[in-house]
Structure 1
């Protein structure tokens, strides 16, 4: 008699195990503890053997029958179903050991020697965030150029072009390591030239210092002996990394010290969408100093002529020149430095891009996106200000606390 679900569900445990037969070698073993195991009994080379198929109801009656048919087909080909399963498990284990993630971590442990802890940490975090979710569990020798390209294009689609290029480079290094150690036959990344598959961007090269030069710049800003309002503008720019035009055009009505927010309207933004700058404690202190100067009721940075106009772009630039950074630094350079350091410290790329107001958005999405992730962005901005304060005084910074913004 063939089994059905009512019969199976009605089968109660007894003192000893017993079987219900479905025919053709398929049986259901009922154990005293109530568990119900599917078994397929067969003969191979004259010996009686048994294949475990799984438990009911996880393995349904239909699935158990399908498994019996598959095993029976193997027998007709002269293949022992039990040995075939062992071989499959061995292959899966080998594939798991040679998965892209496994090999990438082997490469990273080999590669990281001689690199700084921060550089090495940034590299593995980028792989974990952008590459492993797509191809991490795939056997490295089965990954094609097309498969790899899908992962890289997904990174590009969110606007992270530089990270997409770096990811492709890192994957190429992993594959080269795999080839050198006999774990892969070839490097599919070698078939992909970034300029052939990734969008090119029109890039304006703004002069910018590197991280090692930043502490001295911050100290020179604090010691700046020009107009007090110019020094405060430079300090606020460092803490907020807004564009120069957005800084000098700031209005007091945009500032909410209670909410610790600076809300810049769309008409003043390069991308013509509103922007929110979470204010750190240090930025608020600077704003209070600006307020104390009482230079203008409307503008934070009015022109020295008091003609209703704002401070000039060149005021910021020439102040930087006066401090000894001609052709080495611009107002925009603060944005480049912040982006580089925050990315290297592992902060969420989307949070950084939103804070830089880089994303091009349509009018509908702009109404929502400018306020996305405000809490982690606020934590990131406070971390950034704390970092600037620390390096300015010569403190050694081992790692940001980027967990809250990831």
Structure 2
């Protein structure tokens, strides 16, 4: 027999903190703070649990008993109502909403460059499955997305997108949105395949040929792109370190670039980069071309970022090789028989050119701001600034005839 009456409930609701049983786990709770509510205690998998059913005034005594009986029926079927309510709360979440949740709660907090996975999602995933509910996405969708990317020749991107999809479903499982990860059965063999380290280095003759084509087609390869490539092959820095550089890092009068730790790869180490006269001249030209911008390479189009896009130079290089993924009809190949290269290969070309001049390896590794070993970082604090100054000077002199 029920223990409570409507009159008793109304009286309890006006009283002090209490928890009164109605029988079979159902209770009327008057908290110290907040509004009175109905609560049901039950056992699931030998664990005691408690679920709030609704507030007083929104749920009558009869309705609370009916809700409690519905939950008891779920328990008899082996269903935990707490898990079910969490799942149903997010059951309508779309894949775009799932990515946004992971972006805000994980990527922004953990990654130095959260814009990279966001760009990969926006460009390769959103248009195919972003509108679907999470539980509607299946292995066929995953396979089709990976095939489209791989068929376009972007094998590295295919592998990156596979990793991103796996992490998105892991995030969904953590939030109890789904119990399945349809991306987990796929490997790199199903995406872009095994990635081998690039070894492309341009010879002196290839540098001459490439930069000659750059100059010949300024409508395809802008002056900003050209000067960026000149600086990259003479300084050996990473592309992102250069194209995202603000002017306040440069002391052109003293020919030094102060690259802070937070803008290096993995926040590794701040470094002072000596600038040869040729590089100072290019930077002074860029200062004029930047028209008062805070950045050396300001964004030329409307963008959320104030500096040049990460794919701008590579896209321009690809276009000169007759490669444009955005067009059905490909542009003509202006590079002739020159082997394809990417902008990062210019950094490797700097290293190879300097090595050919018989400079010491540890000095060259400092030019690249590489970590040689943990012991080296502990005991060798010398940054070899003067030695690096000579290296950059000699490399710039050797390549100046072709740049």
Q: Tell me the TM-score normalised to structure 2 length.
A: 0.43
Higher helix share: 1
Q: Tell me the TM-score normalised to structure 1 length.
A: 0.42
